[in-house]
Amino acid sequence: MENASNSNQKTDSLGILTKYASTPDIKGLAELAVRRTAKYSLQEEAKKLLPTERVRFCLRHRVDATKGIEVKYNQKREQAHYSNVQRCGSVWTCPICSAQISEGRRQELKQAMEYWQGLNGAQEVGGIVLLLTLTNPHHHGDNLEQQLGGQKKALKYFWSDRKPKEMFKALGKVGHITATEVTYGKNGWHPHYHILLFFKGAINTKELRDFIATVWQNCCEKAGLKIPSIEHGCDLREGKYADKYVSKWGLADEVTKGHIKKGKEDSVTPWDLLKQSEAGCEKSGYLFQVFAQAFKGKRQLNWSNGLKKLLKVDEVTDDELATETDKDSLQVDILDMELWRLILIYKCRAEYLTAKEHDIKFGSKRAENLIMELAERYTKDYVHEMMKNADLHHVRAQALAI
């Protein structure tokens, strides 16, 4: 639908340069609105399930309590967002922060892979990246925290034991990035690692896989874990699989995908559990709480020492990524707390942003209208509540009189 030659440009009263195609991309706008509403709604569910965690304040409480809630518009992305609001920065439990941080981390992974493989022209000779998956047997009823603790130990042995260390050195390994993931299926929790291995030159994948499978068995045994079979404990794939993995990693859509995708082993992700909880499944809500507790404070991605520097990737914190969109953004509105409370009471944070974007793009008054609607609704609900209480007083007074 987008066609530069058809597009019009105008500058609105706030000085925002608005570009809109003569036929607006309705499908794109609708998808964005649906995804955003789903993310905010899932965050409400996470807040309900985790009432003592930081997610309960996320995009609700102010940073500076002397100012209102700022609404900003990012011209590059053509998207609105809130500012002067706290962000929890949780990659595991907040669908909004997670989507934003993961997107930034995915770009880092892509940049690192391209650099190392010589795809961006910075290096003359490209290196090799392999994708290693490590797992161990798990059963229904296994304790997730214990499994994670055991796997962490096993992985520590994997990198520090003499045999694998010497082998990796001989093969010209320069570093690795470890992603920790978990799914839930009929055999209970399935925590596992996906590891990107960076080598200087070509590798015989089959031979290395067989070597790793035996090493991993030993590491699991030493860590007190159930010992994986040679066939199932590890999987080693060549470059194109690593590229595919990175291009899909942490995609925002994964958080909010419309239906629950059944994995190969009939397993679901933690976001699926949150969605199922939202749909009324108490067991899924409980499992999400177990997951949140077990993963609290854990890193989603771990880069080996010195690898970021070698691959020319800057160090950026989760908090910086969570607020990154503030760059190139203009303030378009400031909401005082009465209006913000209305938006929170009626769970309209997503709708308000969508309305604001529509106003900026098409000169409409949707945001104002939404606030007016909420104010009217509140007035009605308030009067209704008063009447109910008045009735109660009346009943009580009658009861006392008897």
* Chain residues that interact with Zn ion, rule: CB under 5 A: 58, 88, 94, 97
Q: Where are the alpha helices (DSSP H) in 226-348?
A: 239-248, 252-256, 270-278, 282-295, 307-310, 318-322, 337-345
CB of 260 to Zn ion, least distance (A): 22
Helix axes of 26-49 and 95-116: crossing angle, nearest 10 degrees: 120
CB of 266 to Zn ion, least distance (A): 30
Of 58 and 155, the one with the shorter C-beta distance to Zn ion is 58
Of 51 and 121, the one with the shorter C-beta distance to Zn ion is 51
Q: Strand 128-134 vs strand 234-237: parallel, antiparallel, or unpaired?
A: antiparallel
The number of residues in the chain equals 402
Of 251 and 310, the one with the shorter C-beta distance to Zn ion is 251
Structure tokens at 196: 């990107």
CB of 15 to Zn ion, least distance (A): 30
Closest CA to 96 of 79, 78, 76, 112: 79
Of 130 and 353, the one with the shorter C-beta distance to Zn ion is 353
CB of 86 to Zn ion, least distance (A): 8
Q: Is 87 exposed, middle or buried (0-12, 13-18, 19+ CB in 10 A)?
A: buried
Of 90 and 267, the one with the shorter C-beta distance to Zn ion is 90
Q: Is 362 exposed, middle or buried (0-12, 13-18, 19+ CB in 10 A)?
A: exposed
Of 88 and 246, the one with the shorter C-beta distance to Zn ion is 88
Of 298 and 388, the one with the shorter C-beta distance to Zn ion is 298
Of 89 and 150, the one with the shorter C-beta distance to Zn ion is 89
- DSSP state, residue 61: S
CA–CA dist 343, 352 (Å, integer): 8
Closest CA to 301 of 118, 108, 131, 144: 108
Letter for the amino acid at 148? L
CA–CA dist 305, 72 (Å, integer): 37
CB of 71 to Zn ion, least distance (A): 18
Of 99 and 154, the one with the shorter C-beta distance to Zn ion is 99
CB of 46 to Zn ion, least distance (A): 9
- DSSP state, residue 161: S
CA–CA dist 78, 94 (Å, integer): 23
Provide DSSP, 65-106: TTS-EEEEEETTTTEEEEESB-----TTT-HHHHHHHHHHHH
First to last CA, the chain: 74
